[in-house]
Structure 1
Amino acid sequence: MNETLGRGYARIEAIRAARGEALTMPEPSAPPPDRYNSVYLTLFVAGAAFLLPFNSFIMAVDYFQYHYPKSTIMFDMSTVYIVSACVAVITNNILLDFFTYNTRITFGILLSLATMLFVAICNIGWDGFSSSVSYTINLVAIGVVAFGCTMQQASYYGFTGCLPPRYTQAVMAGESAAGFWVSLDRIVTKYCFRQPKRSTFMFFVFSILILLGHSMLHHVMMRHPLVQYYLRLTNESRHRRRIQLHLNPTEDATLMESEAGEASYGVLKLQSPAPSTGIGEGENTFSFANPVYSPSASAPVPVPLMSPPPSVSEQPASPSATLRTPRPSYKVEDVVIESPERPTSWNSFKRGVLARWAVARAIYPYMVSIGLVYFTTLSLYPGIASEVPSCRLGSWMPIVLMSSFNLFDFIGKIAAAWPYEWSRSQLLMASGVRLLLVPLLLLCAAPRHSPHIVGDVYPIMFSVVLGFTNGLFGSVPMIMAPSRVGREHREIAGNMMTLSYNGGLLSGSLVSYLLLGMLGPPADTCRIYPTPVLPTLAPVAPNSGNGTFILTAVH
């Protein structure tokens, strides 16, 4: 038996302190206020920060197309990012029970920050590598960034699943804000610095500064009373299901009140072998057949086992006197007749798989909906959007399309906070109708030498619709899904939704290669759109005495 069991005391306040729980906890109906919306704003910044590296690579499309002409750099970076993100989501689900939110998020922040610094200084600022080596470095860097950012993303969605739904919406709005901020940042740096290398370097520097600010805000937020309150509720929900008292078959125990009369103490007295004197064999006696409880106790309180303070352990105990104490005693929730060994890793893995399967069955419509939304988006953005030609805008065209997408994606995620109860069928229908955008935007770029839908307005309009629907119908399922399961399973629900989200991203990025093949070979010149025939005034002969003007048409 454990040494702390042999000592026989467990102080409730010390147990709570050891778990990191507050000693004075507010009532469940009165959570601490989020003054100045500090938690909301921090999660908003967090959502922006873990998508900022990916958006920084994508919005530097003009630099990469200039540096690697006639390459598929945008398609390759998108695919590498999504593949690495899927690996990160699976890894995060495996490590869910081994590392805390804070550990996983901090690891992701440091990994992303270090990679962005390396790319900005070595691959863009110094630029001492050959074209092929630099190309490979960029792909490896975005894969590493994807792993770190998705580790943060999956952990944040699991974390906000334990908070009220508005905080999940804050993270998703922050994701769109990342795209919007990066779009503005790229427009400003491209306009202020005419040299592509210098403008891209400053562009990455601004992104790195935001990542540094996010890392500091995150650690401050984790100590906020509101966050600690909801994490405590989640932990208590888990402990009520998991805490057990393990005893050997040769041992018996009696749970008694402390002689000092302090309500914060319970005394677990171990006896081996079990006594047969009959003392205390009433309802306050613990045995394998009779878990101890008092009828006056209002709710069961688990009794973990810890060492007592010296002042208590030195007090002499009188079992017969203590057993007659009418004060409430503590109920032992479960009794397992076995040695107190930790469960095997296989049993833990099996329980985790079963829990995830049960959660997936409860939220599968939301998983399918968010998967379809991001499948459509990644089929077109950023790959096809970067291939739409324009003689008028030139290298600005992909930046305009991506900025339009990011702006209205941000608006759509804000609109997701509107108090409307979307049904599962409505979400599935909306995500299915979005598939019509794939052929529409594709016809704006295919075939390259003569697109079927000509003009600059149409691709911008399709990009606006794509962005708004992505923001709205990509957020609502993520917000609603955790509320469809119990509090103890909300982190799993958030991670399962992130898994489906990344599945849609991966399949969409692979389909984008098929769409790229439909565009045909690269064209060296852009399409000159036809203009309508306009009437012109022909010069009047000087000897004509009338004032008649002759209209001619110039073709």
Structure 2
Amino acid sequence: MDDADASFEDEERERSVDCQPLQHQRREEMLDDALAAADSGKAMYLAFVVIGSGFLFPYNSFITAVDYFQAIYPSKRYEFFVTLVYFYTTLCAVFLSNVVLRVVGLESRIRVSYVLFCFPLVTVMVLTSVISNEGTDTTFAVTMIGIVVVSFAGGIQQASYYGFTGMLPRKYTQAIMTGESVAGLAVSIDRLITKAAFSSCRTSALVFFGIALVFNIVCAALYEFVQRTSFVQHHLMTCHSVHDHVGVYRSLRAENVTELQVYSGTQSNDADCIQLDKHNTTSELSGRFGLLLNKLGEGWQIRKHVIRRLWHLMLTISVVYFVTLLLFPGLLSEVKGPAFRDDWLPVILIAIFNLFDFVGKVFANWHYKWKEGHLIAISLARFVLIPLLVLCIVPCQSPAFGSASEYVAMALAATIGITNGYFGCMAMVLSPSRVESTLREVAGNLMTLMLLLGLTAGATMAFLLNHLTSSEEGSLCYNSNATVMNNSTC
């Protein structure tokens, strides 16, 4: 009888571990919904919206102040440099964040990124104070180095926060993404006010970047407060200890992993809850280097497992942002028409995109049971927006849509914005529920990496397409009789 009881207990234990993915997902969703109700006052949700806007606020500040940088560097293509520098550096930062996930803790990564943000913001304020007329090649290089630092810190922080909120109920991942859209709108309003309030562009730039610096400090303080609340600590402890008595994840056996044990730990990094067996470690090595290789090897096995679960969502978010960056802001800024002044139309189109991107991310708070295949199909269907927008630009002297080109472009800007906001946000929000609780930070980091891959590829392709519609010689819109004027002064 004792043997039968022991056998029965073993079967029950194995059945609880080797549960079906759908049942696991439903339990996770029910637990998330129940625990999210604790934030009844929405204070925590709003805090994550502010934090989400914080890691894009410095970058948006450098982009939105393009009028100031064009004035002090009239011979430089500032907007071209800053875009490519940002996305390639951020991509490297997110990749590095995935590599060091098991080496550097979550809290350390976030805190260091806030410190790094301060240096370029202070530097640009100092340069603004000392540059007398026009900047030099040296000051331009220093500005670009500052943008590299902003990009690196932003990439590390973005990946870390998505991993952080992946351990919380799903609505807080959506809050982070909403904050990203809020950042663009807030910085635009900030620049309009500072530009209108001060006649000197240098003074307005000083105040503008000073506000960005203060906001960064506020976000750092808000993070320290949020991560110490009982609400967040409860979810982090739940994530670290939810599988503290189980022994085997059989789904990994196909990858030559004999067992993946999950135990209750005290470390801040949820990936540290996971331990692989001797077949995937470097136990023969000793010392710190051997331990480092051991952790990296374990991390790779974990990521292979997560990728198998999330490849549909990873592909969706990458394609969504590839199409968006191919069209925005490059091709949108090339639309011309008689109804609006040429210098106002790009501003209007970009404002429409930012507005509807924000609306799309807000709508993502109301969940629809999307299947992964449907999300991939919709993300691929957005490619039809590319030729439609191109027809609003070429032939340059008489676009295919004629006098309606501006209004068609406005409709397209709204469509690009709302589909980018909604489906990009849905892919990110759904990803944590597709993996075990102890793997949510890893999932958030991998999703951010795919997001940045799409952004970087889209920005690169946009540069190639923009050449076809620019006013440069050899492009489709080149006009040999046109004169180039630069009335920017500072």
The two structures have a TM-score, normalised by structure 1, of 0.68
> Which AA in structure 1 matches 2:312?
P
1:517-548 Cα deviation digits (max 9, x unpaired): 2114346469xxxxxxxxxxxxxxxxxxxxxx
| Structure-1 residue corresponding to 2:370 | 422
Equivalent residue letter for 2:232: V
Q: Which amino acid aligns with 1:386?
A: S
One-letter code aligned to 1:357: K
Q: CA offset at residue 512 of structure 1? A: 1.1
**Per the alignment, in what secondary structure is the counterpart of residue 368 of structure 2?**
coil
Aligned to 1:320: none
Query: Of the candidates 28, 41, 45, which is equivalent to residue 46 of structure 2?
Result: 41
In the TM superposition, what are the counterparts of 1:92-241 in structure 2 within 5 Å? Answer: 92-119=97-124, 121-128=125-132, 130-237=135-242
Aligned partners of 1:163, 1:303: CA distance in 2, in Å? 18
Select between 383-392 and 499-508 the one with higher mean Cα deviation: 383-392
Taking a change above 3 Å as real, the CA distance of residues 30 and 47 of structure 1, as seen in their structure-2 partners, is: closer
Instruction: State the secondary structure of the residue aligned to 1:228.
Output: helix
In the alignment, structure 1 residue 344 sits paired with structure 2 residue 291 = yes
Partner residue, 2:270: none
* Corresponding residue for residue 379 of structure 1: 326
Matched, 1:480 2:436: no
**Amino acid of the structure 2 residue aligned with 1:373:** V
Match of 1:367 in 2: 314
Task: Give the conservation status (yes or no) of the 8 Å contact 1:378–1:505.
Answer: yes
1:101 offset after TM fit, Å?
Answer: 1.7
**3-state SS in 2 of match to 1:383:** coil
State the partner residue of 2:15: none
**Aligned amino acid, residue 433 of structure 2:** S
Residues 448 and 521 in structure 1, CA contact (< 8 A), matched pair in contact too: no
Query: How many angstroms does 1:447 deviate by?
Result: 5.8
What amino acid is the match of 1:124?
T
Trace 1:257-296 onto structure 2 (pairs within 5 A): none
| Partner residue, 2:386 | 438
Say which SS state the counterpart of residue 163 (structure 1) adopts.
coil
Question: How far is the alpha carbon of 1:509 from its aligned partner?
Answer: 1.0
Give the equivalent residue in structure 2 for 1:330.
none
In 2: Cα distance, 1:367 partner to 1:97 partner = 21
Q: Structure 1 residues 302, 178: closer, same or farther in 2, change over 3 A? A: closer
Conserved 8 A contact 1:59-1:399: no
Separation (CA, whole Å) in 1 of partners of 2:423 and 2:84: 23
Q: Which moved more, 1:407-416 or 1:391-400?
A: 391-400
User: Whole-Å Cα distance in 2 between the matches of residues 59 and 390 of structure 1?
Assistant: 24
CA shift for structure 1 position 194: 4.7
Report how far residue 205 of structure 1 moved: 2.6
Shift of 1:206: 2.5
Alignment gaps of 5+ in structure 2 = 1-30, 249-261, 267-274, 473-478, 485-490
Deviation at residue 104 of structure 1 after TM alignment: 0.6
- Gap change, CA 1:241 and 1:38, over 3 Å in 2: same
In the alignment, is residue 85 of structure 1 matched against residue 90 of structure 2? yes
Task: Quote how far apart the aligned CAs of 1:50 are.
Answer: 0.5
Cα 1:525/1:420, change in 2 over 3 Å: farther
Q: 1:61 aligns with which of 52, 61, 66?
A: 66
Provide closer, same or farther for how the CA distance between residues 447 and 61 of structure 1 changes in structure 2, counting only shifts above 3 A.
farther
Distance 1:202 1:478, change over 3 A: same
Please, which of 449, 453, 464 is the counterpart of residue 499 of structure 1? 449
Q: Deviations over 1:391-415 (max 9, x none)?
A: 7434333332222211111111001
Q: Which amino acid aligns with 2:325?
A: L
Match in the other structure for 1:400: 348
Q: 1:153 to 1:520 in 2, by over 3 A?
A: closer
Q: Could you say if the C-alpha distance between residues 195 and 30 of structure 1 is closer, same or farther in structure 2, counting changes exceeding 3 Å?
A: closer
Quick one: which amino acid aligns to residue 361 of structure 2?
K
Q: Which residue does 1:459 correspond to in 2?
A: 409
2:301 matches 1:354: yes
- Give a deviation string over 1:417-447, Cα, whole Å, max 9, x none: 1121111122112211222222333343446
- Given that 1:163 and 1:227 are in contact with CA atoms closer than 8 Å, whether structure 2 keeps it comes out as yes
How far apart are the structure 1 equivalents of 2:188 and 2:395?
28
Write the letter of the residue equivalent to 2:229.
H
User: Which deviates more, 148-157 or 105-114?
Assistant: 105-114
1:193 is displaced (CA, Å) by: 3.6
* C-alpha contact 2:102 2:295 (8 A) present in aligned 1: no
Q: 1:462 to 1:70 in 2, by over 3 A?
A: farther
Counterpart CA distance in 1 for 2:303 and 2:426 is 21
CA RMSD of aligned residues (A): 3.3
Q: What number of residue pairs does the alignment pair up?
A: 414
Whole-angstrom distance in 1 between the partners of 2:142 and 2:265: 55
Greater radius of gyration (CA): 1
Quickly say closer, same or farther: Cα 1:32–1:474, change in 2 above 3 A: closer
> Which segment is superposed worse, 207-216 or 158-167?
207-216
Give the 3 Å change call, closer, same or farther, for CA 116–302 of structure 1 in structure 2: closer
Q: Give the counterpart letter for 1:47 in structure 2.
A: G
Structure 1: 5+ residue runs without aligned partners? 1-26, 244-299, 305-332, 527-555
Task: Classify 1:100/1:126 alpha carbon distance in 2 versus 1 (closer, same or farther; 3 Å).
Answer: same
- Judge conservation of contact 2:114–2:153 (CA < 8 Å) in 1: yes
Which structure is higher in helix share? 2
Q: Contact (CA 8 Å) 1:445, 1:451: kept in 2 or not?
A: yes
CA distance in 2, matches of 1:425, 1:42: 33
Distance 1:301 1:446, change over 3 A: closer
1:191 CA displacement: 3.4
Amino acid in the other structure paired with 1:426: H
Q: For residue 362 of structure 2, what is the amino acid of its counterpart? A: I
Retained in 1: the 8 A contact 2:90–2:452?
yes
Displacement of 1:462 in angstroms is 2.0
Q: Deviations over 1:235-257 (max 9, x none)?
A: 224765799xxxxxxxxxxxxxx
For 1:191, the aligned partner's letter is: A
Alignment partners' CA distance in 2, 1:227 and 1:75: 40
Q: CA deviation at 1:73?
A: 2.6
Q: Distance in 1 between matches of 2:115 and 2:149?
A: 11
Check conservation: 2:391, 2:399, Cα contact below 8 A: yes
The change in CA–CA distance for 1:438 and 1:32 in structure 2 (over 3 A counts) is closer
- The C-alpha deviation readout for 1:295-354, integer Å capped at 9, x for no partner, is xxxxx99899xxxxxxxxxxxxxxxxxxxxxxxxxxxx9999x99x88733332221101
Farther off after superposition, 82-91 or 38-47: 38-47
The TM-score, its normalising length taken from structure 2, stands at 0.76
